[in-house]
Structure 1
Amino acid sequence: MAGSGWDGVTVIDHPLVQHKLSLMRDRNTSTLDFRRLLREISMLLCYEATRDLELTTATIETPLTTMEAPVLAGKKLVFASILRAGNGLLEGMLDLVPAARVAHIGLYRDPKTLVAVEYYFKAPDDLHERRVIVLDPMLATGNSSVAAVDRLKERGASDLRFVCLLAAPEGIERMRAGHPDVPIVTAAVDERLDSHGYIVPGLGDAGDRMFGTK
């Protein structure tokens, strides 16, 4: 099941998602297990983010007969990873959709102003012809997410989804205000942000826990 009390936000409340998320929240979970769980949970989130992809039919031969079989219509997806933590979601989604193209958006949050600063951007040229799924485990202040979607739209993207592991109410409000046309898919909406812009109760810094850098 999936639901949310927020307009434009889908919270995946499937038991497997919630169980894996709880393990990830635990401060005693190792880097290895955190990375594995993030990869697993990203596949489950991908199902929801691609639920309404258009289908067409193709004629195929089964071992018994000829049939018109459903296949994806048009060009495939673009997964847009907000570096560096977005790569944790990216790996699991590529396991599920290996033909997808990939965009990378390098952003870091200034520790004093919490404003997103861009240092890298590389994306396919035909974003206007593809669905773009933007990936970042944490929707905290929303500044990096809004900045990433801004850049993708500037490059022609018009069919976008945003997928995260955790979202704070402040981040949702910022994203909905900046990009009300971009649906959000998440595993949980937490209580709030602390004074440093971290999600509470959260799971800490997703990048640090994924790569063992803190």
Structure 2
Amino acid sequence: MTTSDPFVHVITHPLVQHKLTLMRRKDASTTSFRTLLNELAMLMAYEVTRDMPTQDVEVETPLETMTATMIDGKKLALASILRAGNGLLEGFLAVVPGARVGHIGLYRDPATLQAVEYYFKMPKDMPERDVIVVDPMLATGHSAIAAITRVKALQPRSIKFVCLLTCPEGVKALREAHPDVQIFTAAIDRQLNDHGYILPGLGDAGDRIFGTQ
């Protein structure tokens, strides 16, 4: 599925789609799932950080001194929604190693499907930072909405949300709750099932990352 919403970005690069397809296979091992997720996160990071602030610095080449451009990575904060969000962190940090990292602990109440917070720690000086919130799945949207609401209270310069997979229900919920937040994903799948899982999806991302299924 594609979308005409300018705040929803589906990353259709062939390498992204190829690796996502390999991850969807039910017989993919925990090791291969982790490796593919790390590679896919790096590829997505290039798209998500396309408009990252830069600064001019003076460098000395072997031949002369010049002014060149560098990213302002220290102004970027990655916010991982535990536990599955950590599966995307390594890939993003490989691309932007200067980013600071925060964690938001949320679990989904099995009866209500609502997000319940148990941990929250973010870097200092948040009003000076751009934040990328990461979580492999945007399903019901409850966890993403709760996480972004908490991050917004710290008044960062901007917030983006990155997920591996989502569905129309998740996109709709997040767009309605936080219309100013851009969503980046590799695919918008068909729908949610009665248990709040994305179809066709790839199963529980956290279980597949950590081998706990």
TM normalised by structure 1 equals 0.96
Residues 5-33 of structure 1, C-alpha deviations (whole Å, 9 max, x = no match)? 33410001000000000000000000000
Q: Distance in 1 between matches of 2:72 and 2:125?
A: 16
1:127 Cα deviation from its structure 2 partner: 1.3
1:73 Cα deviation from its structure 2 partner: 4.1
| Residue 86 (structure 2) aligns with | 87
Q: Is contact 1:135-1:164 (8 Å) kept?
A: yes
TM normalised by structure 2 equals 0.96
| Residue 155 (structure 1) aligns with | 154
| Residue 139 (structure 2) aligns with | 140
Q: Distance in 2 between matches of 1:177 and 1:41?
A: 28
Q: Does 2:37 match 1:42?
A: no
Q: Is contact 2:41-2:92 (8 Å) kept?
A: yes
- More displaced stretch, 93-102 vs 190-199: 93-102
Q: Distance in 1 between matches of 2:125 and 2:17?
A: 35
User: Superposition RMSD on alpha carbons, in Å?
Assistant: 1.2
Q: Residues 74 and 194 of structure 1: is their aligned pair in 2 closer, same or farther, counting only changes over 3 Å? A: closer
Q: Does 2:151 match 1:124?
A: no
% identical equivalent positions:
61
Q: Distance in 2 between matches of 1:17 and 1:4?
A: 18
| Residue 187 (structure 1) aligns with | 186
Residues 62-86 of structure 1, C-alpha deviations (whole Å, 9 max, x = no match)? 1112111011248421000000000
- More displaced stretch, 145-154 vs 50-59: 50-59
| Residue 28 (structure 2) aligns with | 29
Amino acid at match of 2:16: V
Residues 159-192 of structure 1, C-alpha deviations (whole Å, 9 max, x = no match)? 0100000011101001100111110010000000
Amino acid at match of 1:167: T
How many pairs were matched up? 212
Q: Distance in 1 between matches of 2:194 and 2:113?
A: 11
Amino acid at match of 1:64: L
Amino acid at match of 1:198: Y
Q: Secondary structure at the match of 2:150?
A: helix
